[in-house]
Homo-oligomer: A and B are copies of this chain.
């Protein structure tokens, strides 16, 4: 029997390198699949439907909510964002670990609904390095950088809700570490429910047999 995949939520500061990390993980290991969010916001320049997001109308999005077609969704700045259920479930059943890149509120919702999901927080080695990376992009104004850092300060308050923190210092090492953590997480009781149940039932069977 094929082992069911893990639902992995990846969050982290803007500038932590989540996107690059996910791309490298998908490229290196065949057992991961990336969930693509559905949104009602308009595509930005260069964004392609089915790549960055599935772009849809508000009406269609609300229909999908009603049909229980999303595993989580949120309304953000007047636009809906959500995670389509079908893709996640299909891929997990096929043994793929499905990656959701979402922020902490979404992550907590996922954990509540799927206690066996794995929450991973990605951070640069230090806040100093985070600042350097944001400034180094050279595309953001000082204001935007200050906003990102303020947001990072807020986000940092939620780190304890995550199962693991990975430090993205060296990309290759970080990919390997993330992969190892997914593997290790399979040994947490919440992801060994079947084994635990079997052992308990068998043991109870012996006790009855002995009476």
Contacts and interface: CB of A to CB of B under 8 A. Distances in A.
B152 A164 contact: no
A159 interface: yes
Interface in A177-211: 177, 180-181, 183-185, 187-190, 192, 195-196, 198-200, 202-207, 210
A128 interface: yes
Interface in A141-187: 146, 149-150, 152-153, 156-157, 159-160, 162-167, 177, 180-181, 183-185, 187
Interface residues of A, number: 45
Given A128-B202, A149-B206, A153-B204, 7 more contacts: A131-B206, A149-B210, A153-B207, A156-B203, A165-B192, A167-B195, A184-B185
A123 interface: yes
A79 interface: no
Number of chain copies forming the complex: 2
A180 B183 contact: yes
A207 B150 contact: yes
Contacts of A20: none
Contacts of A160: 189-190, 196
A196 to B, nearest CB: 5
A139 to B, nearest CB: 19
